[in-house]
Amino acid sequence: MYLMPKAFVVEVVPLRVMAMVVPMLGVVGATFLFNKSSWFPYLLQAVAILVGVSSLLTSYIATQTDTEMVFGGTIFLTFSIYLVLGLNFRQSMMAGWSIYVTFLGMGIGLSMPAHDVIYGGLLLGASNLFGTYASYRLERNAREIFDNDQALKRLARTDVLSGLYNRRTFDEHFAKVWKQARRDDKQIAIVIADIDHFKLYNDCYGNPKGDACIKRIAATLGAVVSRPLDLIARYNGAEFAMILYDPTPVFLESFTRSLCHQVVDLDIEHRASEATPTVSLSVGAAIAEAAGNMTPDQLLRQADDALYEAKSQGRNQSIVYRTEWGQQTTSHLAAVLL
Q: What is the pLDDT of residue 236?
A: 87
Residues of the chain with CATH 3.30.70.270: 167-337
Provide the 3-class DSSP secondary structure of residue 77.
helix
Q: Give the fold, CATH level 3, of 167-337.
A: Alpha-Beta Plaits (3.30.70)
Q: State the pairing for strand pair 318-320/231-236.
A: unpaired
Provide the β-strand partners of residue 288: 188
Residue 338: the pLDDT is: 43
Indicate the pTM of the whole model.
Answer: 0.62
What is the distance, to the nearest Å, from the Cα of residue 298 to the centroid of all Cα atoms in its chain? 32
CA separation for the pair 220, 212 (Å, rounded): 13
DSSP assignment string, 157-195: HB-TTT-SB-HHHHHHHHHHHHHHHHHHT-EEEEEEEEE
pLDDT at residue 293 in the model: 82
Please enumerate in sequence order all residues whose Cβ is within 8 A of that of 219, keeping only pairs 6 or more positions apart, or say none.
163
Tens of pLDDT, residues 108-123: 888 877 887 888 889 9
Q: Are strands 187-195 and 281-289 parallel, antiparallel or unpaired?
A: antiparallel
What is the mean pLDDT for each group of 10 consecutive residues in the chain (338 residues)? 77 86 89 81 90 86 72 85 90 93 88 82 92 93 87 82 92 93 92 94 92 95 92 93 94 95 94 90 91 87 94 93 64 47
